[in-house]
Amino acid sequence: MLIQLNGEPHALPGPVTIQELLDSLGIDARTVAVEVNRVVVGRATYSQTTIGVDDEVEIVAFVGGGAPGCAKL
């Protein structure tokens, strides 16, 4: 199954939870925020929230800033 992950197609074996997706990507859940289909998902519910086919997922983190010009969402 395909999802859109940070703007790119991403293949998954089947529906997974956000926590499982983060684990598979080696991302520490405490350092990021996750949006599914433009709705922010609370960190406490990552293990209960399932990502399905064609879902648009954004994983973001804090980077150095104060000056604009970096890549956008």
Partner 1 sequence: MSDPLIIADRTFTSRLVVGTGKYPSHAVMKAAHEASGTEMVTVAVRRVDLTKRAESLLAWIDTTTIALLPNTAACYTADEAIRTARLAREAGLSNWIKLEVIGDQRTLFPDNEALLEATRVLVSEGFVVLPYTNDDPVACRKLQDAGAAAVMPLGAPIGSGLGIQNPNNLLIIKEQARVPVIVDAGVGTASDAAIAMELGVDGVLMNTAIAGAGDPVAMATAMRHAVIAGRLAFRAGRIERRRYATASSPVEGLVTGRAGRS
Q: How far is the CB of 32 from partner 1 (least distance, A)?
A: 6
* Closest CA relative to residue 42, chosen from 56, 61, 29, 53: 29
How far apart, in whole angstroms, are the C-alpha atoms of residue 15 and residue 10? Answer: 12
Binding to partner 1, residues 16-45 (CB under 8 A): 25-28, 31-35, 38, 40-43
Q: Which stretch binds partner 1 (CB under 8 A): 12-20, 48-56, 62-70?
A: 62-70
How far apart, in whole angstroms, are the C-alpha atoms of residue 56 and residue 21? Answer: 13
Q: List residues near partner 1 by CB under 8 A.
A: 5-7, 25-28, 31-35, 38, 40-43, 58-73
